[in-house]
Chains A and B, each alone.
Chain A
Amino acid sequence: MKTIKYKINSILILAVLGFTATSCSKYLDKSPDDQLTLEMIFKDKTRTEDWLAGIYSNVPDPYWGNTRTLGWDPLSDDMAPSTGWEQFGWSVIGMQTGNWNPSTSWDPNYWVELPKRIRSAYIFLDNVKPNPAQLVTEEEVSLMKAEARFMIAYYYTLLLETYGAIPFHLGLTDPNASAEELMIGQTPFDQVVQWAEKELLDLSVILPAKYSAAQKYGRATSIMCLAVRARLLLFAASPLVNGNTAYTGFVNNKGETIFDGTYSADKWKTAAGASRLLLEKAESAGHKLYMEYNADGTIDPFLSYQNMLFRRPQDGNDEILFARPECNIWEYDRHAQPRGTGGNGGLGITQSLVDAFFMENGRAIDDPLSGYQEKGFSKAAEVRNTRWAESQGNGKVTLEGTYNMYTHREPRFYISVLYNGAWYRRENRTTEFYSGNWDGGPTHDAPQNGYLVRKKVHPDHDPRNGTNPYRPGILYRLGEVYLNYAEALNESEPNHPDILKYVNLIRLRAGVPQYGSGKDALPVPSSQEAMRKAIWSERRVELNNEGIRYRDVRRWKIGEAVLNGNFYGMNFSGTEKDDNESNPKAFFKRSVYQKRIFTAKNYWFPIPQVEIDKNPNLVQNPGWK
């Protein structure tokens, strides 16, 4: 009896063991069932648009991007972020001062990141399909495909402008591709330009100039295609890559010359033509310079220039050709507002930019007729015909006791520069940049060179209360087209009347006397040379801190002249309102705050060292090895 019972027990145990063993043959047979696949993505309108958004997501952010991540404005001689921010990963400050080599990290890392978007766009082109059930029509699909193609071309132009020599590869690479297929070398610069230029022109025929649906604002348009194309062709015509013999002997792995050293006047003609085409198409689509007017009907240059940056298209701003609807405006505004008002107060601008602004009479400060007076403090407040309210209103532009350097300057100066002693409306006081005072040092969150940027900073941004008025980020506006056109035309057809016309249109809106016409007209620049100088000066001022100056400096090959050497500002350690050079505590004296380094290699970004390491067919850009 007993034995039988034991046996039954044992059999039970064995049975259970056996049961578990057999029933579990499918135990591991599990795969995640909710993993998205490409097929699922393109069956569904929202996921398809998600994919498209992913492609768009590297469109540069002209606010925080140009400032912090991409760093175009600090890299130029416009912007001066607090040098102490290098500690917070602002590698751009090291790059300013020559702490820059192929291993230096640069957050946007275009070399690697843009090809990801390009690949993503090709996957989109291969997979997107109509979906009638969700109202994704054939027509919509062809538009989206054109958008994806636009993004591919646009990203290639960004790569070109950054690195010059890039591996150029259309289509998708297979993950199991052979080493030869993966390790491609660089393509000559002009070849990529030609492809991109043509592609953008082709797309401008497919895409509309504007979308009627409000929610499609920001999607690629024919104007965006032509704008990117015009900018690219202007770049390709410029001295850096047109007739620059410095790159003779710089060849790719196939022995092809990457930058053609022979000058071609046709390139300027093409560039002028591209800008003219853009101008025509943009104007016929209703784009025009943004202007606001005083009660007496005159242009209010202060509000026009300021609000051109803040007003949305539906508020009457037709100047914007290419916008990034969502930008990190919060960080930009906060870093630019004085630390005593709740901001970080260290996003400065250079003395070089301060000096670039014209006087009220339209002349540069080094013009003996300009009436520029640097020393001393004003005896009375300045009042002009404007409704600009940031300096106590009633037309008041500067207050009594303002350092003379800042008086009688053109309107764009006051919209762009926040100087020590300027009125600060939100706080109801003047700025106090003196060391040890509200907005001053010695911390890193203070204007290291005595200025903060005011351009694009919304006066109603209030970091203490978290208010931050919305505005789109402007990547391209009609004002730039005017100056691009004038510049290219001056090089290709020096006496063309359009040159003066479009430069003067810019000056008219800016409230600065024009060349050869209008009130207090200035003499017309007498030669192609003089006109070039005038156009360059106008660009510097009009387009300051819009991410354009660094590109200009590079394509004009003036980096060594303007980005190398001591950079000046006001005396950071000054505690007294004094301009006496011999007083160490005087704030108002030109003082070196940074020594910057720009050498021939800096015209192009270095190819990241890790990529050079991986791909033996790459050649490092000139000067970086």
Chain B
Amino acid sequence: MYKLLMTSRKQNKFARNFLCLFFGSLIWLFSSAKPIFDVQKNITIDFNNLPVKQVFKELNTKTGLKFIYSPNDIDDSKRISMSFKEQPILTVLDKIFLSLKVSYTLNDNTIIVKRGSKQALVQEDRLIEGRVLNKRQVALANATVATGLGKNKTSTDDNGQFKLRLDPQDSYFTVSLVGYVSQRVPLKTNGEYTVVLADSISALDEVVVVGFGTQRRASVVGAITTIEPKRLQIGTSRSMSNNLAGQLAGIIAVQRSGEPGYDNSNFWIRGISTFGGSRGPLILVDGVERSLDNMDPEEIESFSILKDAAASAVYGVRGANGVILINTKRGKVGKPNVSARFEQGITSPVQLPKFVGAADYLEVMNSIREERGEQGLYSKERIENIRNHTDPDLYPDVNWLDAVLRDHAGNSRANVSVNGGSDILRYSLVTSYYREGGLIERDEKQAWNSSSRLNRYNVRSNVDINVSPTTLFRLNIGGYLQDRTRAPQSVDELFQEAFTIPPFVHPTIYSSGEIPRTPQRTNPWALATQRGYERISASKIESLFAVEQDLSFWLKGLKARGLFSFDRYSNTSVVRSKSPDYYNPAIGRDENGKLKLVIDSYGQEFLGYEKNSDWGDKSMYLEGAINYVQSFGGHNVEGMFLYNQRNYDNGDLLPYRNQGIAGRFSYNYSNRYIAEFNFGYNGSENFAPGKRYGFFPSFALGWYISEEPFMEHLKSTFSKVKLRGSYGLVGNDKLDGRRFAYITTINETGGYSWGLNNDFKRNGRMEGDQGNSGLTWETVAKSNIGIELGLWKALEFQLDLFNEDRKNIFMQRRSIPGSSGFTNAPWANFGRVNNKGIDMSLELNKQLNPNLFLSVRSTFTYALNKILEQDEPSAVIGTSRSSTGKPIGQLFGFIDEGLFTDADFSDVANGTLRPDIPKHTFGPVRPGDIKYRDLNGDGVVDALDRTAIGGTEDPQIVFGFGSNLRYKAVDFGFFFQGVSRTYRIIGGSNFIPGSANGAMGNMFDNVSDRWTVDNPRQDVFYPRLSDYQSANNNLASTWWLRDMSFIRLRNIEVGYSLPPKLLDHLAIRNFRVFIRGNNLLTVSDFKLWDPELGVNNGMRYPIMKSVSMGLELNFK
């Protein structure tokens, strides 16, 4: 017979009231609820020789605990004398029951006293160890391991290992993990535990992040790719965007510069499908439009990209370019889990162009003149003096790239995060620090430091509070502060100047201390080191409040959610600059040996002060949604309806506003047949009244073949077979170049002055753009067919074929003649682009033997777009010059037919071509110049003979593959990434050696690979050199077209986890050290500079490679 001793219900009101008081001003929700018993709560209580019965009574008064016991088990008249001061309740209970020699269980707020189990009682405090795996023998990290009473908790490390301290009364422990069936494991007397968790309902209930919410994996029919956040940590680069290429099927990404702070990659989901301005995906962090560049990967819990219309239609006019969803880490129930990570790297350029020295340079210059029978400008003795380093002041030999760059720089990254919580309150705190030093040289003699460097501090604090069992309150605060310092001009400019200034004109600084420069040119070294510095500070705060209310009492499966967020970004910069005295290059030495110098411009001694820029933006976002999830037998139904609005203000005339509703209805029959309907109905203030809202629906169907009963016996082979297809519309309201395009504008134009003293000045004004009231958004119809395949429970294969047809692309009319006098050609929704391709991923995870684990993964993305319709000048349509039918960004140029030979000329001396050779109209030609094909056969090579050559600069193919291997405590991984079908026409001002007559331009070290009169080879890099800019040879043509495909070893990493025995007494659960290399190897046919750089002459801050060491540790 059990006796219910006490029934009085004293709620533990304190915590709840406190919370409500705290957040009362923020929320209107108040809810009464079942109290949740807080076992961690401390109590102070004294029992002075009291009977057990009385003890229970007092405990009930104090804590609300109820006690159920059978008098057979306990003699409730036994007297106890104990005293507790600020002790956890559980400790109190343990002590009491230990003295009574019985065990108990705690269920909600009820203690059930059990008959004393002999076995349980003899067990002293002890530590158990074990490992948690899934059925595929893959170690499961972050599984929660808890003692039966929930008093002690831990979670597994990356190797699935755990250690748990038991209390004497424990008879079992539990293991749980999202997506798996929780398991209760009885205690053994000895040995390690290996716990194999079953996928919960064969992983079909696993939650996937989708647009405006989550879905059961079984129900997902959109093309969605996710990536483990850990894989976004493969690079030491500041910007997370640099880690996307090759990692995610469906992303095309390229990094075009390595400059600290400006090294974000350009990336597109499934390539580009508009020639309008807005091509980048919509990026949502915790559901709010934000940038991902300055997030630390450590902050991220999930990262998914939505590729097809089924996944992105809910975003309506903003989702046409695909959507990236990032959710930040949230707290998990358990005691505080502290982890730390530190990484220190040394960086250096992947590849820098190499220049020839001054003596070689001058010899090339002389040879150009000598070839046409003139004497070289530079004397033998001058060249000898440079070679012999005689008087470097007068005969300098400067490699300006070396002069402005250091060999190495460094970066470091540190993270500390804490994660934990109870059923009521969970928290995740992440703090990160990132530092990067730049390559630019500084002058140690100056008191200031002009070298480029960057410091970034990130914090993110996410808190979830169950204010009632059905009400969840979320508060996210995140942000960063980023400080940068650099010389007060763009680093790109510095690189351009280092390329522009020849090696022989003057040294960096004279031995007597004067700084030389050629008038109106620069001294790159002085530009980098003598001009002071600029301090740029950017900060961002991101906040989010959300309330989720479970309405199951009303309608089972119904939930409502409200979300409000505001973000603020600000950027300020201070320039402390000066200009040194510059001297003209010395023309010799006087009789005393002093350099003959004359001043070119007067500088200043001190650093000036200027507040350069101060700008920022803010955005506010409001969202309300209702979700419904319910199963009726085999019928699984999910629904979502949502309202949102966004106000983005960056100081423009009016804030940018969006408003809309979205909905999803998903039906799934016994996890096999899935149908889904999504829509977005939203608007943008960019368009004329009445044209502001658009409806974007999408449909999707899926068939989970492997769930069919007839597949049951094949399940060991085909662990997953899923077919899905979707079709829908998405829009894009970001029109490039023109906002409020329905309004006719007035432009400012060149002004004019009148007056005898030139003092009656008027700013000019004229007509600007013509308004077009019919303007609307771009609409893209996306279709997608995908297959997901799981084989032998080890291999995951996913393949998607897509087709996107985008119309109403906003463009400026190109067929309006200039004689009409319009300031700007009118804008119209004119263009149509088709984009299709394939993306796929393959993943293998295999525990080869208990000590050896192997994973292999690879992705492949191919996207090919084609302009179907656009406004083109009438004479261009249908000719080789037309870009219709070509990809966006198609390169155009001439087709070369090698170099002219003497045989092509009827009169070589006068440069007269034979009559049967097409006339070249760009300038005089000579043997050794590039000969072009007369495409239209009119006997003249002119602009009409231009045609599409090569492809686009942006790659059409991006792929990646890598592997991870773990053997006992050692792990090894590598990842290759590559791009293909990417081209560039190299060249530009001063690119052809000598073309500025030695006044500008450096020569690459391949300068000897050139056509000369004595060696008139065709297979050379450079055509005939000249000491002027040869208009003919400088044209974009196949001669200069290069394939910029490459494969790069993005990451190679070796790690070692210290044995647990060493760590145990340090309260450290896991300690891993690693060495990592990034971008250590690049293989490409193009050798002059890093093929990924976004310039045609190699002169940009290079992409960096790095070698780093780091450690990761988790505290117990």
**A243 partner residues in chain B, CB cutoff 8 A:** none
Given contact pairs A445-B519, A470-B758, A614-B873, A17 touches B562 in the complex (Cβ within 8 A)? yes
Which of these, B562, B752, B756, B940, contacts A53 with CB under 8 Å?
B752
Q: Is the CB of B587 within 8 A of A438?
A: yes
B2 at the interface (CB under 8 A from A): no
Q: Is the CB of B519 within 8 A of A344?
A: yes
Q: Is the CB of B601 within 8 A of A610?
A: no
Binary contact track A592-603/B, C-beta < 8 Å → 1, others 0: 000101000000
> A172 vs B822: C-alpha distance in the bound complex, in angstroms?
10
Task: Write the chain A residue with the least CB distance to B362.
Answer: A442
Q: Is the CB of B692 within 8 A of A611?
A: no
Given contact pairs A87-B1000, A99-B922, A325 touches B754 in the complex (Cβ within 8 A)? yes
**A483 partner residues in chain B, CB cutoff 8 A:** none
Q: Is the CB of A472 within 8 A of B758?
A: yes
A21 at the interface (CB under 8 A from B): yes
* B116-124, B340-348, B759-767, B974-982 - the one binding chain A: B759-767
**A123 partner residues in chain B, CB cutoff 8 A:** 766-767
Within the complex, the shortest CB–CB distance from B581 to chain A, in Å, comes to 11
Q: Is the CB of A437 within 8 A of B560?
A: no
* B525-533, B990-998, B1107-1115 - the one binding chain A: B990-998
Q: Is the CB of B643 within 8 A of A614?
A: no
Q: Is the CB of A443 within 8 A of B505?
A: yes
B989 at the interface (CB under 8 A from A): yes
- How many A-B contacts are there with CB distance less than 8 Å? 315
Which of these, A36, A119, A343, A345, contacts B821 with CB under 8 Å?
A119
Q: Is the CB of A444 within 8 A of B999?
A: yes
Q: Is the CB of B923 within 8 A of A98?
A: yes
Q: Is the CB of A87 within 8 A of B685?
A: no
Task: Write the chain A residue with the least CB distance to B771.
Answer: A175
**B624 partner residues in chain A, CB cutoff 8 A:** 13, 16-17, 20-21
Which of these, A14, A102, A217, A326, contacts B560 with CB under 8 Å?
A14
Binary contact track A567-596/B, C-beta < 8 Å → 1, others 0: 000000100000000001000000000010
**B134 partner residues in chain A, CB cutoff 8 A:** none
Q: Is the CB of A101 within 8 A of B995?
A: no
A532-547 interface (Cβ within 8 A of B): none
**A443 partner residues in chain B, CB cutoff 8 A:** 505, 518, 521, 998-999
B interface, how many residues as a size bin?
A: 35 or more
* B186-194, B195-203, B206-214, B548-556 - the one binding chain A: B548-556
Task: Write the chain A residue with the least CB distance to B33.
Answer: A2
**B1032 partner residues in chain A, CB cutoff 8 A:** 99
Q: Is the CB of A345 within 8 A of B762?
A: no
Question: Which of B519, B645, B654, B815 is the most central at the interface, judged by chain A CB atoms within 10 Å of its CB?
Answer: B519
**B33 partner residues in chain A, CB cutoff 8 A:** 2
Q: Is the CB of A54 within 8 A of B764?
A: yes
Given contact pairs A35-B745, A57-B750, A442-B377, A313 touches B756 in the complex (Cβ within 8 A)? yes
B657 at the interface (CB under 8 A from A): yes
Which of these, A55, A219, A615, contacts B817 with CB under 8 Å?
A615
> A273 vs B761: C-alpha distance in the bound complex, in angstroms?
36
> A596 vs B49: C-alpha distance in the bound complex, in angstroms?
119
Which of these, A10, A49, A214, A217, contacts B551 with CB under 8 Å?
A10
**B922 partner residues in chain A, CB cutoff 8 A:** 99, 101
A132 at the interface (CB under 8 A from B): no
B229 at the interface (CB under 8 A from A): no
A94 at the interface (CB under 8 A from B): yes
Q: Is the CB of B518 within 8 A of A87?
A: no
A interface, how many residues as a size bin?
A: 35 or more
* A22-30, A233-241, A399-407 - the one binding chain B: A22-30
Q: Is the CB of A27 within 8 A of B659?
A: yes
B741-761 interface (Cβ within 8 A of A): 743-746, 749-761
Within the complex, the shortest CB–CB distance from B1061 to chain A, in Å, comes to 53
* A109-117, A276-284, A352-360, A411-419 - the one binding chain B: A109-117
> A453 vs B327: C-alpha distance in the bound complex, in angstroms?
68
Which of these, B471, B766, B875, B943, contacts A116 with CB under 8 Å?
B766
B1029 at the interface (CB under 8 A from A): yes
What's the dominant secondary structure at chain B's contact region?
Answer: loop
> A576 vs B754: C-alpha distance in the bound complex, in angstroms?
49
> A625 vs B944: C-alpha distance in the bound complex, in angstroms?
10
**B989 partner residues in chain A, CB cutoff 8 A:** 87
**B654 partner residues in chain A, CB cutoff 8 A:** 30-32
A340 at the interface (CB under 8 A from B): yes
Question: Which of A17, A56, A117, A612 is the most central at the interface, judged by chain B CB atoms within 10 Å of its CB?
Answer: A17
> A217 vs B378: C-alpha distance in the bound complex, in angstroms?
53
B94 at the interface (CB under 8 A from A): no
A204 at the interface (CB under 8 A from B): no
Question: Which of A59, A86, A219 is the most central at the interface, judged by chain B CB atoms within 10 Å of its CB?
Answer: A86
Within the complex, the shortest CB–CB distance from A593 to chain B, in Å, comes to 11
Q: Is the CB of A445 within 8 A of B520?
A: yes
Q: Is the CB of B622 within 8 A of A182?
A: no
Which of these, B377, B622, B818, contacts A112 with CB under 8 Å?
B818
Given contact pairs A28-B685, A217-B756, A442-B997, A13 touches B547 in the complex (Cβ within 8 A)? yes
Q: Is the CB of B765 within 8 A of A173?
A: no
Binary contact track A413-442/B, C-beta < 8 Å → 1, others 0: 000000000000000000000011110011
Q: Is the CB of A50 within 8 A of B751?
A: yes
> A102 vs B996: C-alpha distance in the bound complex, in angstroms?
24
B875-924 interface (Cβ within 8 A of A): 875-876, 921-924
Task: Write the chain A residue with the least CB distance to B764.
Answer: A54
> A112 vs B875: C-alpha distance in the bound complex, in angstroms?
18
> A46 vs B500: C-alpha distance in the bound complex, in angstroms?
46
**A435 partner residues in chain B, CB cutoff 8 A:** 377
> A56 vs B1031: C-alpha distance in the bound complex, in angstroms?
35
Within the complex, the shortest CB–CB distance from B620 to chain A, in Å, comes to 12
Q: Is the CB of B818 within 8 A of A611?
A: yes
Q: Is the CB of B943 within 8 A of A101?
A: yes
Q: Is the CB of B762 within 8 A of A53?
A: yes
**A59 partner residues in chain B, CB cutoff 8 A:** 752
Question: Which of B653, B692, B758, B943 is the most central at the interface, judged by chain A CB atoms within 10 Å of its CB?
Answer: B758
Q: Is the CB of A339 within 8 A of B519?
A: yes
Q: Is the CB of A444 within 8 A of B653?
A: no
**B826 partner residues in chain A, CB cutoff 8 A:** 175
B72 at the interface (CB under 8 A from A): no
Q: Is the CB of A464 within 8 A of B602?
A: yes
A9 at the interface (CB under 8 A from B): yes
Within the complex, the shortest CB–CB distance from A586 to chain B, in Å, comes to 12
Within the complex, the shortest CB–CB distance from B1029 to chain A, in Å, comes to 5
Given contact pairs A101-B942, A342-B519, A343-B519, A314 touches B751 in the complex (Cβ within 8 A)? no
Task: Write the chain B residue with the least CB distance to A2.
Answer: B32
Task: Please list the residues of chain B having a beta carbon within 8 angstroms of any beta carbon in chain A.
Answer: 28-33, 375, 377-378, 470-471, 505, 518-521, 547, 549, 551, 553-554, 560, 562, 584, 587-588, 598-602, 622, 624, 626, 643, 645, 653-654, 657-659, 661, 683-685, 689, 692, 740, 743-746, 749-767, 770, 814-823, 826, 873-876, 921-924, 940, 942-944, 989-990, 995-1000, 1028-1029, 1031-1032
Known: A47-B765, A84-B1000, A339-B584. 19 other contacts (CB 8 A): A5-B30, A6-B31, A9-B549, A10-B549, A13-B624, A17-B560, A28-B659, A30-B654, A31-B740, A35-B746, A53-B752, A57-B752, A87-B996, A120-B821, A175-B770, A343-B519, A443-B521, A444-B1000, A613-B876
Q: Which 4 A-B pairs rank lowest in CB-CB distance, beginning with the nearest?
A: A119-B821, A112-B818, A54-B764, A99-B923
Ordered by A's residue number, 17 sampled pairs between the chains whose C-beta atoms are within 8 Å are A17-B643, A24-B645, A32-B654, A50-B762, A52-B752, A84-B1028, A99-B1032, A103-B942, A111-B819, A115-B818, A118-B821, A169-B819, A216-B755, A339-B520, A441-B377, A443-B998, A614-B817
Task: Please list the residues of chain A having a beta carbon within 8 angstroms of any beta carbon in chain B.
Answer: 1-3, 5-7, 9-10, 12-14, 16-17, 20-21, 24, 27-32, 34-38, 41, 46-47, 49-59, 83-84, 86-87, 94, 97-99, 101-103, 109, 111-112, 115-120, 123, 166-167, 169, 172-173, 175, 177, 182-184, 214-219, 312-314, 325-326, 339-340, 342-345, 435-438, 441-445, 464-465, 470, 472, 573, 584, 595, 597, 608-616, 618, 625
